[in-house]
Amino acid sequence: MTPAPSPASPSPSASVSTHVLDTSAGRPAAAVAVEVSVRAGRGAPWTAHAVSATDADGRCKDLPALPEATTHVRLRFEVEPYFTRTSSPAAEDRQDAPRTRDSGVFFPEVAVVFAVTPGERYHVPLLLNPFGYSVYRGS
């Protein structure tokens, strides 16, 4: 007699965490709004998933697990308000780009898109300064 098949267990969903460091100031970037959007496939539309803001340590600690079918994630960091609050005239004086920008901030937002695999954990830090940024898959 063949045993009955066991019910399929759902595949574990991926999870995402992030933090923002202001490399020009050498400190975490607090109160940066972060939006998480997801999609299930390369041609699928983006769906809003979560909103958060960085804490005093520059981290978003309340991001929920991703929906099961997620294949791509987009993190959108609203950095203009952060730079408006913390901008330094000395930093502006050191750059040679035109000063007549619409917002006064060179990067008003940063969007990072990456692929995910079910069951994996993704930590994606944003290293930020008034004139550039970088991201990487952390641990």
Taking the C-alpha atoms of residue 121 and residue 17, their distance in angstroms, rounded to an integer, is 8
Task: Report pLDDT digits (tens) over 49-81.
Answer: 999 999 999 999 999 999 999 999 999 999 999
Task: Report pLDDT digits (tens) over 94-106.
Answer: 555 555 445 567 8
Q: How high is the pLDDT of residue 128? A: 95
Q: What are phi and psi of 9, to 5 degrees?
A: -85, 140
Architecture of domain 15-93+101-135: Sandwich (2.60)
Sign of CA dihedral 62, 65, 48, 126: positive
The residue with greater pLDDT, 122 or 96, is 122
